[in-house]
Amino acid sequence: MKTLAANSNVAKFLNAWNAFCRWTERKLSSMYTSVYVLAVMALFFMTGTIFPQGGEYEEYARAGGGFLALVNAFSLLDFFTSPVFLILSIILFLNIAVCAWKRYPLVFQTKKDAGSFAPEHTIELPFTVSDAHEEVKKALKKAGFRIIARNASYAVAEKGLPYRPLTWLYHAGLIACLLGFALTYFFAFEGEMRLKLREAETVMPEETGRLMGLLRGYTPHSDFHLFLDRFMTEYAESPRLEYPSDKLSRLAIGLGWSKNIAYELTENSLSVKDWRAKIKVIKGTRTLTERFVEINEPLKYGGYTFYLMDVVQSFKVRVEDNPLVLETKAGEDLVIPGVDEPLKLGPWRAGTVKRLNNDIEVLKSQVTVMRRGEEVARLSPGGSAFIDGTKITLLDAVEAPVLSYRYDPGVPLLWASGVFVLIIMSLRFFGYWFEAAYNIEERDGRPVLELRIRSAGLMADERRVMERLKYHIFKQAS
């Protein structure tokens, strides 16, 4: 008896489970679910932009932040890596995947008919009844149609790129994109490294991707080193236009009637055009590769991408003849005994400048010494200045590039699938597709073409395709 009862319970459970699975499948394959999931995603994303991301909960509470219970419960300060976000993303993924899975047979199966046929247009054909079928087929072919299905009462012809497979394909591409995101989420990591001239540095991230530990034999330290061979800064001269306040003067200049344009050219008119770091990838004594890394010109090696992110300017100064050397960075406060207020060194100007007349000049290397926003001196390497009676000597100035590096195995998949999605989506939206379901009836001994045309895509013009079809039909007859 107990066994029977247990079996019955198991059967009930299995039935309930099956019913649940069917319900889940039905819901996940529903277009309504897609609409609601997208709406919920949009709402949650808005929430993610309202709360400051990456902040600490305690700091947020101390600053008087509101909705503390909600913020804590849903990790709203780190929303885009929170479990809620992950669950939403999984639901979106499942929704697209199940929709695609369920619609695959509908989209790609051989078409047998075009559903019920209710003609919307009729054309009296200028052929004999016996020739009509063949002549209409020819006219359709000339108008760019191909017959794809036929049954006893009507035939179906198609023109252009069928939109259903395209729609299916770009959704499949979106699944691949989400997989790319997942690879990034679980395996990507990044870090920073500061290079010093003619020294080698190793990639040593403080933390790696969430699941990198699962990879056998994985070590976060690179087996190669980056060696900074050279570093240079290029400036460009960008004058400021003295803009006349008088509207008529502006109009006159704009129309070329007045050449009275004044440019203001100061030292501040120099703007950094580019930073260039010549980097060698070395292993032992071998150079594996070398190239210039610039902003927007990263170095890719060993699965990593290295970006020139920033430049740090650091200085060594001596006060009077004190053997103790003071070290500081550009923009940092430098407190010097005997000088009233903290000084700031920077910016350091060294490198080349492209003048307005396209001449390239080498800049005189020097750093500006500032106090309360005012320039008090300029120092070249080895040069000295007296500030408040205190002698300050610049011993050394170094510009060092800061590289950010990133290891992201999701990027190749994401790019490939992203490009695929965009191409297919563009074909689907901007292309054209026509489906002509037709039948030839005999009325009063004359053949009549009964036709229904459906279309999809922004370029689809049903009126025009009807005109073309009529043109070919009557041209054949003549």
Q: Which among 145, 32, 205, 213 is positioned nearest to 465, based on CA atoms?
A: 145
* Residue (122 or 260) nearer to another protein, CB: 260
* Residue (269 or 380) nearer to another protein, CB: 269
* Residue (8 or 271) nearer to another protein, CB: 271
* Residue (7 or 53) nearer to another protein, CB: 53
* Residue (135 or 399) nearer to another protein, CB: 399
Closest approach of another protein to the CB of residue 147, in Å: 27
β 299-301/146-150 pair status: unpaired
β 286-294/240-242 pair status: unpaired
Closest approach of another protein to the CB of residue 42, in Å: 4
Record the tokens describing residue 471, joined without a space: 């043109």
Closest approach of another protein to the CB of residue 457, in Å: 9
Closest approach of another protein to the CB of residue 74, in Å: 16
Closest approach of another protein to the CB of residue 426, in Å: 5
Q: Which among 239, 91, 135, 157 is positioned nearest to 433, based on CA atoms?
A: 157
- Tokens 């054949």, residue located: 476
β partners of residue 325 = 318
Whether 356 and 237 have beta carbons less than 8 Å apart is answered as yes
Q: Which among 188, 183, 192 is positioned nearest to 209, based on CA atoms?
A: 188
* Residue (258 or 365) nearer to another protein, CB: 258
* Residue (83 or 254) nearer to another protein, CB: 254
Closest approach of another protein to the CB of residue 273, in Å: 7
Q: What is the phi/psi pair of residue 317, to 5°?
A: -130, 150
Site of interaction with another protein (CB under 8 A): 31-32, 34-35, 38-39, 41-42, 45-46, 48-49, 53, 80, 190, 236, 238, 241, 243, 250-251, 253-255, 261, 271-275, 294-296, 298, 305, 307, 309, 404-406, 408, 411, 414-415, 418-419, 421-422, 425-426, 429-430, 458
DSSP code for 403:
E
Closest approach of another protein to the CB of residue 284, in Å: 28
* Residue (266 or 478) nearer to another protein, CB: 266
Closest approach of another protein to the CB of residue 434, in Å: 16
